[in-house]
Amino acid sequence: LVEEKSAVAQEYFAAVTWDGRRKLPVVIFSDMGGIDIEEVAEKHPDHVGRGHLSNLLPIPDFRAKEVVASVGMTGSELNRATPILARLARLQRDYDMTLAEINPVARLSDGSFVALDAHMEMEDEAVGRHKTMLAEIGVELEEPREMYEPSEFERNVKAIDEADHR
C-alpha cells in the first residue's frame, strides 16, 4: 500500500507480543520509533515501556496508558496514543497473534496519530479459526504444511488416548 507523505512530528513504536518466559502477553511502547526496537532497548532502555497483560481478564485501557506514560508522554498526546496500544492488545488477543506491531506510529504536525507501517503474525493453529477475516483483508493462505512423522512417544500417546473412553 502507498500512502501520501505525512508531516511527521515524532515517531513511536507500539507492539504486543508473547513473553515466553512469563507466559503472558506483553505490551511495548517506545518514543523512539522507526528504528529497530532491540537496538533502542539495548542503548536507551529508558525509552522503552513494557507491561504484561492477563491471559484471562479483559484488557484495560489504563494498563496501556501506564506503559505509554512510562516513556514520558503526557497530556493530550498520552490520551490519543493510549487507545492505539489498547486496541493493538485486543487485536493481538482476539485474533491469536504472536506479534502485533506498529512501527512507526507517527504523531503528525496537527497532533493526530497514524500508523505508518504494521506487522502482524498469527499462530499457525489459529488460521482455520480466522479464515473469513483473512480472506476479507486479502491474505492469501499458503497450502497446508506436510504433516511430520510422529515420534514413537507421540504414537504411544495417541494409542493411549484412543484406548481411553474418557
More confident position, 39 or 113:
113
Place of cell 504536525: 109
Q: What is residue 145's predicted lDDT score, i.e. its pLDDT?
A: 55
- Indicate whether 144 pLDDT > 90: no
**Regarding beta strands 24-30 and 48-52, do their DSSP bridges make them parallel or antiparallel, or are they unpaired?**
antiparallel
State yes or no: pLDDT of 23 exceeds 60. yes
Type of residue at 24: L
What DSSP designation does 102 have? E
Q: What is the pLDDT of residues 55-67, one digit of tens each?
A: 888 888 999 999 9
pLDDT at 5: 75
Q: What pLDDT does 30 receive? A: 93
Asked if pLDDT for residue 158 goes beyond 90, the answer is no
In whole angstroms, give the CA distance from residue 58 to residue 15. Answer: 18
Radius of gyration (C-alpha) of the chain in whole angstroms: 20
pLDDT above 60 for 146: no
The residue count of the chain comes to: 166
Q: Can you tell me the distance from the alpha carbon of 75 to that of 117, in angstroms, rounded to the nearest whole number? A: 25
Percent of the chain with pLDDT over 70: 93
Angle ∠(94,99,103) on CA atoms, nearest 5: 115
- Mean pLDDT taken over the chain: 87
Query: Model's pTM, two decimal places?
Result: 0.76
- Position 86 scores a pLDDT of 94
